[in-house]
Amino acid sequence: MLLTSSVVAVAVALIPLVYLAVRTAEAGGVRIAEELLTGRVAALAAGTLALAAVVTAGCLVLGVGSAFLLVRTDLPARRVFAVLAVLPLAVPTYIAGFAWVSTVDGFEGFWAAALVLTLCSYPYVLLPVAAALAGADPAQEEVSRSLGHGGWRTFTQVTLRQIRPAIAGGGLLVALYVLSDFGAVSIVRADTFTRAIFLAFDLGFDRTGALVLSTVLVALTVLVLAGEGATRRRGARYARLNGTRRPPGRAGLGRARWPAVAALLAVAVSALGVTAFSLARRMAEGVSRPGTWPEVMVAAGNSLWLSLAGTALTMLLALPLGVLSARVPGRLSATLERLGYLSHSLPGVVIGLSLVFFGINVAYPLYQTTWLLALAYAALFLPLAVTAVATATAQAPPVLEEVARSLGRGPLAVLGTVTLPLTLPGIGAGAALVFLTCMKELPATLLLRPTGVDTLATELWTNTAVAAYAGAAPYAVLLVVLSSVPTWLLAARTGILSKEVQR
């Protein structure tokens, strides 16, 4: 049953991809070759891959470094820095990109995109790594120290390996995110596939060209997934089941204390300061206009409702898949999980348009309803949810369910009294992440929202498109504030916000 529902979930997530394949195939081989074998495609591919590599590397350095400082050292004002380090998740990349462009003259191109994307997405590495660092068994590090290895060697040979799954998972998310990002690269005019696809769709009405470019992007995604799979060692599951848990110790920073603080401050100022400064300036202009607030409130309500629907559907689809990959690790579940990742890297534009087509031709009752957009969200954000569900499932080892069943409870009762209570916190954190990401989603929302329904993100986009920066500011601010709530929950769950005594 688990397998069946997993297959169904993956099939639903793959609807846009299948449409992409069907449509591309319809174009015919000659046409495809014509579009594909050009210097432009090669340049786009090189640019996109380089951007993904640079941003992932940057995020790994920033994410692992900050996570270590936050969780394992006696950093001053730790909780403040923890909040500052997580907050970038609440800032959509297009808002950050816009803030930088409107603050720094001539801010555009590859390195501009790399900077904005790195500063916006390093929490994707930081959060899982911080959680892994907080949960890693300190005994292994102590053994390494007692065997004569110094602090640095212990860190590289033991600690880094303990948290390796978290690093790989976070890095994968970042790489996939860069491949699919549309807002920031469009605003800073970096030449990547997503921007080229959007331009082809939106300006050139060149459907075939856009489809072929999307196909190449899917191929790049497969490449990233394969690369991650190749580095993941077999059996790299570091579950612990013993009853007593000891929180890991904290290293004294000593003289490195203030340089560490300065480094974290610099990151925080670049990631948040610029955006905050720019938004505050525009906001002051924006709120003074009459009639703004009722419009903003309506858009906020729409955003909440659409994101809730999207989160619900995503979690529903992610549950069987996540449980399957945690409980029955094997080739089949790994393949299903990976297939689920595929549509995540498709640009929201492609997901959006493919579902418009799907709605008109296949599921007309869904067309122009919330649920088609929810389906788009599910296709886009399934991997976030699956990762969370798989991690949470590991909290409820099968032996607990066996005991529960031997005590006379049927499978449903066991699910309700043992499995869900143990996994819900983790699943809840995943849901928060999905919700937050839905709120920030722009291109698919633009295409699939029911007629007349405007969300914070689309209002922001509409205003920005006509250079009404002051009009866009209230939406941007509200979006950032709303997005902060799930970000806060998420950060609290990883334990990096907790005080010294944690249990």
Q: Which is nearest to 3 in space by CA: 339, 369, 366, 323?
A: 323
Instruction: Kindly state the smallest distance separating residue 242's Cβ from other proteins, in Å.
Output: 7
Where on the phi/psi map is residue 391: left (φ > 0), alpha (ψ -120 to 50), or beta?
A: alpha
Minimum CB separation of residue 413 from other proteins in Å reads 8
Both tokens of 290, joined, read 């009459």
1 binds other proteins per the rule CB under 8 A: no
Q: How far is the CB of 246 from other proteins (least distance, A)?
A: 11
Residue from the set 283, 366, 422, 492 that interacts with other proteins by CB under 8 A: 422
DSSP letter for 73, please: B
Q: Which residue has the tokens 């394992």?
A: 72
Give, as ranges, the residues between 468 and 487 that touch other proteins (CB under 8 A): none
Min separation Cβ 240 and other proteins, Å: 11
Residue 148 binding other proteins, by CB under 8 A: no
Closer to other proteins at the Cβ: 123 or 426? 426
Where residue 136 falls (left for φ over 0; alpha for ψ -120 to 50; beta otherwise) is: beta
Amino acid (1-letter code) at residue 486: P
Is residue 399 near other proteins by the rule CB under 8 A?
Answer: yes
Which residue of 4, 242, 288, 451 would you call a contact of other proteins, by CB under 8 A? 242
Least Cβ distance, residue 485 to other proteins (angstroms)? 25
Stretch in the footprint of other proteins (CB under 8 A) among 39-47, 302-310, 405-413, 486-494 = 405-413
**CB of residue 427 to other proteins, shortest distance in Å:** 14
- Does 402 sit near other proteins (CB under 8 A)? yes
Q: State the amino acid at position 205 in one-letter form.
A: F
Q: For other proteins, which stretch binds (CB under 8 A), given 132-140, 194-202, 253-261, 409-417?
A: 409-417
Handedness of CA 214, 216, 219, 224 (dihedral sign): negative
Residue 409 corresponds to which tokens in the numbers above?
């409870």
* The token pair that represents 83 in the structure block: 């909040």
Residue 157: half-sphere exposure toward Cβ, Cα within 13 Å: 14
Burial of 238 (0-12, 13-18, 19+ CB in 10 A): middle
Residue 219 neighbours by CB distance under 10 Å: 10
- Residue whose entry in the numeric block shows the structure tokens 């509200």: 478
Q: Which of 234, 331, 499, 503 binds other proteins (CB under 8 A)?
A: 503
* Least distance CB 239 / other proteins (angstroms): 12
Among residues 231, 410, 481, 502, the one that binds other proteins under rule CB under 8 A = 410
**CA pair distance 91, 223, nearest whole angstrom:** 28
Stretch of residues binding other proteins (CB under 8 A), selected from 15-23, 110-118, 202-210, 394-402: 394-402
Q: How many residues touch other proteins (CB under 8 A)?
A: 24
Considering the rule CB under 8 A, would residue 244 count as an interface residue with other proteins? yes
Q: How far is the CB of 461 from other proteins (least distance, A)?
A: 44
CA 56, CA 7: separation in Å to the nearest integer? 30
First to last CA, the chain: 36
Q: Which is nearer to other proteins, 399 or 465 (CB)?
A: 399
Residues lying near other proteins in the complex (CB under 8 A) are found at 241-245, 397, 399-400, 402-411, 414, 417-418, 421-422, 503
